[in-house]
Structure 1
Amino acid sequence: MSGEISMIGSVILALFLAGYLGQQYLPPPKPKVIGLDLGTTFCSVGVFQAGTGEVEVIADKVGRKSIPSAVSFTPTAVLAGHEAVDLADSNPQNTIYDAKRFIGKIFEPEDLVQESARYPFKVINNNGSAEFSISTNHTFTVSPEFIGSRLLLKLRKMAEQHLGVPIQKAVISVPAEFDERQRNYTVRAANIAGLEILRVINEPTAAAMAYGLHKVDVFNVLVVDLGGGTLDVSLLNKQGGMFLTRAMAGNNKLGGQDFSQRLFQYTTERIRQEFGVSPTLKEDIHRLRQAVEAAKLNLTLQPSVIIKVPLHLNTNERSKTPEGAAPASVLFQAKITRELFEELNEDLFKKILAPVETVLAEGHLQKEDVDEIVLVGGSTRIPRIRRLITEYFGKEPNTSVDPDLAVVTGVAIQAGIMGGSWPLQVSAIEIPNRHLRKTNFS
């Protein structure tokens, strides 16, 4: 009997030794499950690397780790991501963005009219569902989930090219306030892109996982998610590895795009004052918007930046140029300081605190009861916004994770768990809150 036990022990030891040696000397298996963050403004794909236990957010060919959530239709192609954004000014009626705002949602007719008024493309009502009208060499409609599918397909192809293996399975994140229909239509978008969704995870929970909060002893977690177009504030209660979204509030019309627009309006007025006219050519406007966006990003790290933009303006002098001659360009140049940028946007920045106060009130908490403040979304990099949050709570938020990539990092960890990758991770378990309602500000 003792000989049999000894033999069994030897076999088990040999298996452990083989596993250890394989882990040390054999290449780790390629990830087969990807994590997807289909954001309103940007989207990303990540994988959990077996062996190292690290998350890799996959970049495109030029190193960008996220792509704009935009799809543009031309007579010969359907373009997604950066290629679509490049056509936004020259092909505005057929370049669709912010589709996530419409996916799976049922609208009252007047609400859809109001929501669609802010976009250059045409949104039509199909029995309460939004569809987008496209006119290239013929006119047709596409659904929000089809737009999402083109973005997810691009992310899938990026992952396949990087990993060198076909991908059919994924985990995807959604806003915590998404109802069952919106979640199902998000999954449908992934299915159209040829992906099987193994799990849908809430964005705040994914962000908390990225910060490792599913493995540490915290109870009240506040997630401030400020992206390009929306603000979402979520209060999570955590016990063990279980997360309950206790309260939500936000502003569906506040984000980085609004901060850029304030700076764009300022520079346009400066051009009018200096040259007598505002830019009207699509190429000039596109170039100025790009310069403004770059300035906003650089002001996060630098106290001031110089904007230099060549423009072709229709001034009286230019109208006298010989017919057929190309008008000479002018160079607009301006110094933009961080103080100026903060002054232009101070009222918008302060709007961030309203939903923070609301979730604390609905969660019956004081500021001091919040254990961790987690920042998500690229706009939370703005120094003034971080100062506002720090001053409000009397302590600094957790900034240990890239806020642009926090959600996709958490989703990739969950994808690794679903794929059984080694080293094994502790999964976050979400407790459904059927009575949860999101308070919206504007």
Structure 2
Amino acid sequence: MRYRSMRWWSVANFVSNAGTWMQLTVQNLLVLQITGSATATGLSMSVQAAPALLMSLVGGAAVDRWPRKLTASVSQALLGAVAFTTTVLVATGGLDLTVLMVLAAVTGIIATVDGPACALLGNDLVPPQDVPSAIGVGSLVHSAGRLAGAALGGVTVGFLGTAAAYAANGVSFLFVAAVIPFLRPAYGALRQTAPGRPTDPAQATPAHAVPVQAVPAPSGPAPVGENMTVRQGLAYFMKRPRLVALAGITGVSAVFGRNYHLTLAVLVTGPLAGGAGAFGTVSTVLAVGGIIGAVLGARLRRPSVRLVGTLAAAGALLQAVAGFSPSLAVLLVLVLPMAVVESVSDTAGTTVLQTDPPAHLRGRVLGVWGSISTAWGLGGPPALGLLMELAGARGALVGGGLIVAGSIGAGFLLRRRGAAVPVVLRKEALVPVQPVLQTAA
């Protein structure tokens, strides 16, 4: 936070996240008001998420090819235009389910470019050694914006109506778009504005080094030998065991854990006999834990996939214990450390994801990740819902937590066994070689 541009970017991100969560808070209510159908509400969420399943690959390639600040500014302005269009339609009564679905799909398409562009832009504002801390700040801002946006959403709808929430979200996007042109990378952050032309002689890098941000000029070609293809990002991702392992850890956690808006809601309102207010308290504690975890995660300088997995397994075991909670008070005591541990795990995983690839591939790697995480998001709730039907809310929390912890533990054992085999073979291969070398000597 000692970098001026990072401070401005954090403020802009907080405003944007608060506006987004304000809109999300009222969007489900709007769909219910239009259709009266819970199924239609779920469908609207799926329609907005679905474009990322395939389009994220293209969006990530676009982020690698286009100037990052311009890309983020334009995508934020377009998202603001969609929000203002929705505002007008809601205010005039011209919004029906079909139009809402189209606007949701358009938002999802724009987000496939906006997500990786904004994520990587924040990393460019600090020197390479401070990128993990910048990612932690981003996670903190996201959690704080979610907490503030959800609260403001209810207040805004109560006093000003649904259209006002969409208008506030549109203003938040325009605020971010207005801030971006004034952002400057910190001294020591390596970057290029055109192929082969460092912006500062003091920041020039050797031929073998990879700059933190290597983007072509607005009208210039891609760097020599770099076609910016989607296939390159996908191939890099699949050939990196640590990224594949990270995807597995995050995937099993996303499907059988983390869906607390579903599992904890059923547990609180069912076996624990609480109401909406009780679940609101649980949600607040989860958000506070996420903020604390983001602060702790920002202190990790070089997190590993093993650390991500260990923390995810610990959070899953806490989830399993939470499934046995006899009262709301006990649940709240368990939810806080559970949220903290999982937030640190998420922050560490994001750091690995955004710093492992070379700079010219980071947008495409994030695009691959966007497609994978969307598949989890679309497939996780139905799978978890089936588990809840079979085992109930407590069974889903306990069983899901054990599945996550067991899967991660099995992965660690397989990795250790696979790493040990080559060492043994190499030692055996050296035995007959040594006498031959001694004889020749």
Same fold, TM-score > 0.5, yes or no? no
Question: Quick check: which one's helix share is greater?
Answer: 2
Give the number of the structure with larger relative contact order, counting CA–CA contacts within 8 Å between residues 6 or more apart.
2
